[in-house]
Copies of this chain bind each other. A is one copy, B any other.
Amino acid sequence: MSYTEIKRLFRSPDEYIGKTITVPGWVRTVRDSKTFGFIELNDGTFFKNLQVVFEDGKLDNFKEITKLSVGSSIEVEGELVETPNAKQPFELKAKRILVESFCPADYQLQKKRHSFEFLRTISHLRPRTNTFSAVFRVRSLAAFAIHKFFNERGFVYVHTPLITGSDCEGAGQMFRVTTLDMKNPPRQKEGDIDYSKDFFEKETSLTVSGQLTGEAYALAFKNIYTFGPTFRAENSNTARHAAEFWMIEPEIAFADLKDDMILAEEMLKYVINYVLENAPEEMQFFNSFVDKGLLERLANVVNSDFAHITYTEAIEILEKNKDKFEYPVEWGVDLQTEHERYITEQVYKKPVFVTDYPKEIKAFYMRVNDDNKTVAAMDLLVPGVGEIIGGSQREERLDTLEKRMDEMGLNKEDYQWYIDLRKYGGTKHAGFGLGFERAIMYLTGITNIRDVIPFPRTTGSCEF
């Protein structure tokens, strides 16, 4: 059977007007009078529906079609005709409508507004709604934009491992991965678990970041990125935290913090532009129904040169306005979302890179600046969200890295292979991380992370 997709009709109508085509899809609504009726048909390839018109006398099964229920799957053969005076540009005049399945009346997606909370309970059906079809098409396009961006620049895509034997990545609580019998695990004499009997013959967990292994590949390929799932076993039941989410982590060698920021700015603009160009209907929908200022905010990001400011300068600005904040501000503290948003929304009114944070509040692998007080780190703050990207130049000096690890009480033996990367062919390098779901929330205006993940995993919730 040769089917035509609804997306093709909307993108290249001239190819199809006047022709007889067959379109399968799902019924979104049916309206009928005695002798004719209309079906809004959606086939999943396009945000908008195709209007099907059917008439008594022209169909064998006119009666059956008038009784079609929302959600039913059908196949329509007909002629595509222009409708110059109507809301929609064309309609399909049905010659034959084949019903593949009637949808029963207890179908939960009847034509009415449903709360996002309710729709989360039917995550297997919600991509059939306008909002979620838009969210998950944008998610797909944004993912492709990221791959395309890095591919065009010759970056090597690296699948860093998810199961890790190192519990020292330090970015958060981890999930244990095991095949041991939980009820009667093998034990050592002292009663401790005998992990030498586990699948990997050691304790293993789910990774919180691909950065460290990514660095090994950057020091072979120069420019690499990862794009894969990461995990946090943190008990934070907020709208911004999920236990399983996707991250993008580029890593560039022979490059410093400045190169890192240029890359982050180019990438973010590229992804926004790609989605605006390739999902105009969806983005218009978000702007109208989810977040009124969305398109203006994104246009502002794309068209502005991002600002640059040091952490020390940021603290000075914030201290002058300290009565505006709930959390206190002084040199040495980490910035809270309210501080970040103040700087990007009120002071600069555009995206801002904040650089050179106190070394005490940043990770051991970030390069120590000459002042020995700050590190070559950067956070990108964007209006409406706060931090969206965090990165740094990495400490490439073997002695400085080892000193930092000692200071922070890390066991260097666990990191021997990572130290090797400095010892053998080490070079300046830098990288950053972008939480993919945060980016999708930013692109769509959706405010709960559960609504941008197909089947979200959060504290106490792992359905489907």
B73 touches A165 (CB 8 A): no
A160 touches B216 (CB 8 A): no
From A463, which residue of chain B is reached at the shortest CB distance? B165
The answer, yes or no, to whether A229 is at the interface (CB within 8 Å) is: yes
From A129, which residue of chain B is reached at the shortest CB distance? B220
From A418, which residue of chain B is reached at the shortest CB distance? B124
B462 touches A200 (CB 8 A): yes
Query: Can you list 30 A-B pairs with a CB-CB distance of less than 8 A?
Result: A3-B254, A24-B253, A26-B425, A44-B220, A45-B222, A101-B422, A101-B426, A104-B423, A107-B424, A107-B425, A109-B424, A124-B216, A125-B420, A128-B220, A133-B220, A137-B156, A140-B157, A143-B147, A143-B159, A147-B147, A162-B244, A163-B462, A166-B464, A176-B182, A177-B177, A199-B460, A200-B457, A200-B462, A216-B464, A217-B454
Report the minimum CB–CB distance from A444 to chain B (whole Å). 15
State whether A464 and B417 are in contact (beta carbons under 8 Å apart), knowing that A216-B124, A424-B107 are contacts in the complex: yes
From A128, which residue of chain B is reached at the shortest CB distance? B220
Q: A164, A204, A420, A464 — which one has the most chain B CB atoms within 10 A of its CB?
A: A464
Which of B132, B185, B216, B460 contacts A201, CB < 8 Å? B460
Report the minimum CB–CB distance from A120 to chain B (whole Å). 13
From A71, which residue of chain B is reached at the shortest CB distance? B425
A174-199 residues with Cβ-Cβ distance < 8 A to B are 175-180, 182-183, 185, 191-193, 199
With a cutoff of 8 Å between Cβ atoms, the chain B residues found around residue A221 in the complex are 44-45, 127, 133, 136-137
B424 touches A103 (CB 8 A): yes
The answer, yes or no, to whether A89 is at the interface (CB within 8 Å) is: no
B175 touches A179 (CB 8 A): yes
B103 touches A464 (CB 8 A): no
The answer, yes or no, to whether A5 is at the interface (CB within 8 Å) is: yes
With a cutoff of 8 Å between Cβ atoms, the chain B residues found around residue A3 in the complex are 254
Count of this chain's copies in the oligomeric assembly: 2
- Complex Cα distance, B428 from A151, in Å, reads 36
The answer, yes or no, to whether A355 is at the interface (CB within 8 Å) is: no
Report the minimum CB–CB distance from A232 to chain B (whole Å). 10
- Complex Cα distance, B459 from A125, in Å, reads 38
The answer, yes or no, to whether A139 is at the interface (CB within 8 Å) is: yes
The answer, yes or no, to whether A202 is at the interface (CB within 8 Å) is: yes
Which of B108, B222, B229 contacts A43, CB < 8 Å? B222
Which of B175, B192, B217, B427 contacts A178, CB < 8 Å? B175
From A126, which residue of chain B is reached at the shortest CB distance? B220
Produce 1/0 per residue, A329-355, CB < 8 A to B: 000000000000000000000000000
A454 touches B158 (CB 8 A): yes
Which of B133, B139, B175, B191 contacts A177, CB < 8 Å? B175
A177 touches B157 (CB 8 A): no
From A397, which residue of chain B is reached at the shortest CB distance? B101
With a cutoff of 8 Å between Cβ atoms, the chain B residues found around residue A71 in the complex are 424-425
B136 touches A73 (CB 8 A): no
A462 touches B204 (CB 8 A): yes
Which of B109, B144, B179, B192 contacts A176, CB < 8 Å? B179
B161 touches A136 (CB 8 A): no
The answer, yes or no, to whether A223 is at the interface (CB within 8 Å) is: yes
State whether A73 and B222 are in contact (beta carbons under 8 Å apart), knowing that A161-B457, A244-B162 are contacts in the complex: no
Report the minimum CB–CB distance from A398 to chain B (whole Å). 9
A160 touches B44 (CB 8 A): no
With a cutoff of 8 Å between Cβ atoms, the chain B residues found around residue A179 in the complex are 173, 175-176, 233
B244 touches A154 (CB 8 A): no
Produce 1/0 per residue, A37-64, CB < 8 A to B: 0000001110000000000000000000
A198-233 residues with Cβ-Cβ distance < 8 A to B are 199-202, 204, 206, 213, 216-217, 219-223, 228-229, 231, 233
